[in-house]
Chain A
Amino acid sequence: MNPIQSFLSRAFPALHGGALAGAVAGCVLACIVGVVVLQALPGKARKAIIAGVTFLAGLFYALEFFLPANAQDENILTFAVPTVGNVTNVLGGMTLGLGVLSLIRIHGANVVKVKSGWENSMLLLVSMVVMAVAGIKYEHTLFYRSLFRDVLNSFDAAMFAVLAFFIVSAAYRAFRIKSAEATLLMVAALVVMLGQIPIGQYLTHWLPVKGSYLSLLRLDNISNWLLTTVNAPAQRAIGFGLGIGGLAIALRIWLSLERGAYFEAKADES
């Protein structure tokens, strides 16, 4: 146990029963007070607090990455990674309630005002309640499994199946020969497709597999070359650009250098 771990164990000993319930209630109260205080603060002060918390949270992960690790691949901060992850998950979980409230607000209004399509809104609200009750109270019953597996999963599968038709219409538009680039795309796609299927491979099966320049003309070899020598480097190049772009924006957010509606407007209020 490292010094930080032992200090935290002494400062926050494991609680049970009434003490645990009291601590949870205290944390909830502290959160409510925190939100109220943040709302009451002027924009600039609020921005400073948010920037400070963001910096500390980012600093934790940066230090955890850069501090040397021992043979067990752990350093002085590694023990806290699951706990910090749990904090993030709890914050995320709290927002799910707001999402559900949004659904109830919009669809509840549709039902109350008997707007066009109110029947769908009613069905959604009823389904939401039935699914929630089934999940909380009857999780290990056929009723819940049937709702989840037979109804929800089937709906998901049906939506996924729609993709097959959309791929055909998108491919038709993409492969129409209307420019030099589209022609190149069409030819490349045709070669890759033929190289992947038995009938395409059969067309050039009489050419040597390797050891001769003629092997370069085999459809499966051309297809493989297109995928590994042309497509893969292009994908990696895009990946590099994205990685560096992600690093830059993460730095901007970590150091509160980012400009945008969610950063500037609050500070401008005061």
Chain B
Amino acid sequence: MTHASDKWEAAFLVALWSIIVLVTVITAQRGKKYLIRRIPGLNAIDEAVGRATEMGRPILMVPGLSALGVVGLQALTIFSYIIKTAAKFGNRILMPVADPALYTVAEEVVRESYAAAGRPEDFDPTSVYFLSDRQFAFASGVAGTIHREKVAASFLFGDFFAESLIFAESGQQVGAIQVAGTVQTTQLPFFIASCDYTIIGDEYYAASAYISREPTLLGSLVGQDICKGMMLLIVVLGTLALSIKPLGDKFFFVQWFTIK
């Protein structure tokens, strides 16, 4: 097991960053206004839904192989917004899921999103379905859905591995507008090559704040940026410390962050 006592410096940073995020969340809840930059990939959601409406073809949402965790729940938050937008225009949606635990939550989210959009009667229980928890069985099921249904828009958010390119290229083949985002950095090049918009890195976690503009989420996002600034400062200071020969690798700051 890994414990804080194995590396107190890292544990201290985790605790400090947690406090920073909580402080910015509380200040945002108390009315402090925060602005966030434009994220083109998230702006493209409305464009993709509009195009699906014009074409009269379904919208596909895939949470990848995400389990019921932060990545999967974040994907469902983004999908919830897409569904509310799609419900207003009467678009048909499809959501194949690979993880049975996430499937149960996804079904609830879709039902509630239709209710929130004022169209509870439009919810189709067969629109959210469990396919398989085997990677390539799931991939073949999703690729088949893309080709059979000729989806107009495809949203790929969550954990993706080797199957990412199968989904993205299948979408390309049927001419779907595609928006993707994943925390798996090894899959980002495939999405960038095949999708119209790709959400990179921590933009994925910024999505719920960007879409909802909730003060709590905006505050959290600002806290994340402060932590990233601190990380950058540590990298710069570490580089300088290592570059100044008299300090050497025995310097306490370098020692702190050296992997032993």
| One of B48-56, B221-229, B244-252 contacting the partner | B221-229
The reply to whether B18 and A260 form a contact with Cβ atoms under 8 Å apart is: no
- Complex CA gap A103/B74 in Å reads 25
A180 at the interface (CB under 8 A from B): no
The reply to whether A247 and B14 form a contact with Cβ atoms under 8 Å apart is: yes
B144 to chain A, nearest CB (A): 9
A259 at the interface (CB under 8 A from B): yes
Q: How many residues of A contact B (CB 8 A)?
A: 64
A238-B185, A241-B228 as given contacts; A261 in contact with B205, CB under 8 Å: no
Interface residues of A in 222-270 (CB under 8 A from B): 235, 237-242, 244-253, 255, 257-262, 265
Q: Looking at A156, A174, A241, which has the most chain B CB atoms within 10 Å of its CB?
A: A241
A162 at the interface (CB under 8 A from B): yes
The reply to whether A159 and B100 form a contact with Cβ atoms under 8 Å apart is: no
- Contact among A64, A73, A249, A261 for B80, CB-based, below 8 A: A261
The reply to whether A249 and B4 form a contact with Cβ atoms under 8 Å apart is: no
Majority SS at the chain B contact face: helix
A78 at the interface (CB under 8 A from B): yes
Q: How many residues of B contact A (CB 8 A)?
A: 80
- Complex CA gap A94/B233 in Å reads 46
In chain A, what residue has the closest Cβ to B15?
A66
A169 at the interface (CB under 8 A from B): yes
8 interchain pairs, CB-CB under 8 A: A152-B134, A238-B201, A245-B205, A247-B14, A247-B227, A248-B223, A259-B212, A260-B73
The reply to whether B201 and A242 form a contact with Cβ atoms under 8 Å apart is: yes
B114 to chain A, nearest CB (A): 10
The reply to whether A244 and B231 form a contact with Cβ atoms under 8 Å apart is: yes
The reply to whether B14 and A260 form a contact with Cβ atoms under 8 Å apart is: no
The proximity string for B residues 68-92 relative to A, scoring 1 for CB distances below 8 Å and 0 otherwise, is 1010011011001000000000000
The reply to whether A69 and B3 form a contact with Cβ atoms under 8 Å apart is: yes
B101 at the interface (CB under 8 A from A): yes
A173-B194, A261-B116 as given contacts; A247 in contact with B5, CB under 8 Å: no
The proximity string for A residues 58-74 relative to B, scoring 1 for CB distances below 8 Å and 0 otherwise, is 00000011111100011
The reply to whether B74 and A249 form a contact with Cβ atoms under 8 Å apart is: yes
B122 at the interface (CB under 8 A from A): no
- Contact among A95, A105, A174, A244 for B227, CB-based, below 8 A: A244
- Contact among B73, B169, B216 for A166, CB-based, below 8 A: B169
The reply to whether A156 and B136 form a contact with Cβ atoms under 8 Å apart is: yes
- Contact among B6, B189, B227 for A69, CB-based, below 8 A: B6
B81 to chain A, nearest CB (A): 9
Chain B residues with Cβ under 8 A from A103's Cβ?
A: 129-131
- Complex CA gap A253/B76 in Å reads 14
- Complex CA gap A98/B133 in Å reads 13
- Contact among B97, B109, B168 for A262, CB-based, below 8 A: B109
The reply to whether A248 and B165 form a contact with Cβ atoms under 8 Å apart is: no
Given A69-B5, A245-B204, 4 more pairs with CB closer than 8 A? A69-B3, A98-B130, A235-B185, A249-B205
The reply to whether B73 and A262 form a contact with Cβ atoms under 8 Å apart is: yes
The proximity string for B residues 179-216 relative to A, scoring 1 for CB distances below 8 Å and 0 otherwise, is 00001010011101110000011101110100010101
A160 at the interface (CB under 8 A from B): yes
